[in-house]
Structure 1
Amino acid sequence: MVLFSSVCRDAAVQNVMIKDCRSELNTDMTLSKKWLFWVVFVPVALIVAVALFGETPASPVAWTPQAAPSLTDGVYASNDKLQNTQVFGSFNLLQPESIAPGPNGVLYTGMNTGEVVRLNPGDLRVKNLPTTAPFALLANTGGRPLGMVYNPRVGLIVADGQRGLLQIQPEGGVKVLSQQADGVPFGFTDDVAVTADGHYAYFTDASSKFKYPEFTLDILEHQGHGRLLRYDFETGQTQTLLSGLQFANGVTLSSAEDYVLVNETGAYRITRYWLKGDKQGQSDTFVDNLPGFPDNIRNDGHDVFWVAIPSLRDPMLDFLSDKPALRKALSRLLVHVEFPVKPHAMALAFDAQGKVLENLQAPKANGYYYITQVTPVGKKLYFSSVHINGIAETLNPLMNP
Structure 2
Amino acid sequence: MIAGISMEPTRWTPPAAPARARDARGTPPLATPRRIELSSAGPEDVVVGDDGFVYAGLADGRIVRVDRESGSVVDVVNTGGRPLGLCAEPGGALLICDAHRGLLRWSGEQLTTLVDTVDGVPLNMASNVVVDDDGTIYFTTSSRRWVLDEWMNDLLEHSGTGRLLRRSPSGEVETLCDGLHFANGVAFTADQSALIVAETGGYRLHRYWLRGTRAGTFEPLVDNLPGFADNISLGSDGLIWVTLASPRNPLLDLLLPRAPFLRKLVWRLPAVLKPKPVRTVWVLGVDPTDGRVVHDLQCDATNYGMVTGVVEVDGTLILGSLDESAIAVTTVSGEQN
CA contact (8 A) 2:125 2:143 kept: yes
Partner of residue 19, structure 2: 70
Give 1:367's aligned amino acid.
Answer: N
Checking the alignment, whether the CA contact within 8 Å between 2:21 and 2:226 is kept in structure 1 is: no
Q: Which residue of 2 aligns with 1:105?
A: 52
2-structure distance, mates of 1:80, 1:354:
20
Aligned counterparts of 2:334 and 2:6: Cα–Cα separation in 1: 44
Distance 2:121 2:333 in 1: 43
| Paired residues of 1:143 and 1:162 also in contact (CA < 8 A) | yes
Which has more radius of gyration?
Answer: 1
Q: Which runs of 5 or more structure 1 residues have no equivalent in the other structure?
A: 1-54, 125-133
Q: Give deviations 1:296-315, integer Å, cap 9, x for gaps.
A: 11111443011000111111
Instruction: Kindly provide the amino acid, as one letter, of the partner of residue 84 in structure 1.
Output: T
Identify which of 192, 208, 211 aligns with 1:273: 208
| Runs of at least 5 residues in structure 2 that lack an aligned partner in the other structure | none
Which residue type is aligned with residue 50 of structure 2?
A: P
Q: Give the secondary-structure state (helix, strand or coil) at the position aligned to 1:294.
A: strand
Task: Mark the CA change 1:355 to 1:348 in structure 2 (over 3 Å): closer, same or farther.
Answer: same
Matched residue pairs, number?
Answer: 331
Residue 328 of structure 2 aligns with an amino acid whose one-letter code is A
User: Hey, what's the Cα distance between the residues in 2 that align with 1:72 and 1:65?
Assistant: 14
TM-score of the superposition, structure 1-length normalised? Answer: 0.77
8 Å Cα contact 2:267-2:274 kept in structure 1: no
Partner of 1:380: 316
**Structure 1 residue matching 2:207: 3-state secondary structure:** strand
* Equivalence for 1:81: 29
Matching residue's letter, 2:35? V
Greater per-residue strand proportion: 2
| Worse-matched range after superposition: 265-274 or 336-345 | 336-345
1:399 and 1:243, CA in 2 relative to 1: closer, same or farther beyond 3 A? farther
Check 1:290–1:332 CA distance in 2 against 1; reply closer, same or farther (3 A cut): same
SS of the residue 1:104 aligns to: coil
* Residue 104 to residue 123, structure 1, CA distance change in 2 (3 Å): same
Matched with 2:124 is: 187
Secondary structure, counterpart of 1:383 in structure 2: strand
What's the CA shift for 1:93? 4.5
Query: Equivalent of 2:294, from 357, 361, 374?
Result: 357
User: What is the match of residue 177 of structure 2?
Assistant: 242
* Cα deviation digits, residues 59-103 of structure 1 (max 9, x gap): 0011100000112899x97457234221111x5242101111111
SS of the counterpart of 2:155? helix
Cα shift at 1:185: 2.7
The amino acid across from 1:92 in the alignment is S
**Shift in Å, 1:335:** 7.5
Return the offset for 1:367.
1.0
Q: What is the CA RMSD across the aligned residues, in angstroms?
A: 2.4
Whole-angstrom CA distance in 2 between matches of 1:258 and 1:299: 13
Partner of 2:161: 225
TM-score with structure 2 setting the length: 0.91
Secondary structure of 1:121's aligned partner:
coil
